[in-house]
Amino acid sequence: MSGLATETLHAEHVSLSEHVEHMRLAARELPELSAEERTQLFARILDFLQGTLIPHAEAEERGLYEGVAKLLGDERATAPMLYDHRAIREWVADLAATPIDDIPRLQELLYGLYALIEVHFRKEEELYLPLVELLWVVGPSWRA
């Protein structure tokens, strides 16, 4: 994976993080919103999570994570990141199944998803992408 590819992933994370930040702010505003406003807000949030974030995660699994596992010679190298993706999917499913009038549970899920996703992005940015860059530069000789 070249520097251009990791720069692209970084740019995607910046864009996605802006939406994730809106989830945290939405959680804070929930008690003041009408049922109709909450319904509209959650439609937008779920659209982002199911239509943008989860497909992004799936693309990473097929690209970045497979590449890292291959470079390191062990598929377990990306197990923590795959675990995060599974947890995010479960939390999104819980969010989608929560009644719109259960404000405390909706807030818990939004704050939890916010924290989970932000920490996941930081792990990718601070741990995986630099590793990929290093392995790309060093090439196959790093194993010798």
Model pLDDT for residues 58-87, shown as the tens digit of each residue: 998 988 888 788 878 888 988 999 999 999
Quick one: average pLDDT of 44-63? 95
Where does the chain have alpha helices with state H? Answer: 3-29, 35-48, 54-60, 66-72, 79-97, 103-123, 129-138
Between these two residues, 132 and 124, which has the higher pLDDT value? 124
Comparing CA positions, the residue from 136, 5, 134 lying closest to residue 60 is 5
What are the sequence ranges of the domains in the chain?
3-143
- From 34-38, 97-101, 135-139, the region with the lowest mean pLDDT: 135-139
Residue 21 CA to residue 25 CA, distance in Å, equals 7
3-state secondary structure of 1: coil
pLDDT at 43: 97
- When pLDDT is cut at 50, 70 and 90, the band that residue 50 belongs to is very high
Q: How many CB atoms within 10 Å of residue 112?
A: 17
Tell me the whole-structure pTM to 2 decimals. Answer: 0.86
pLDDT at 4: 60
Under a CB-based contact definition with an 8 Å cutoff, are residues 105 and 116 in contact?
A: no
DSSP 65: I
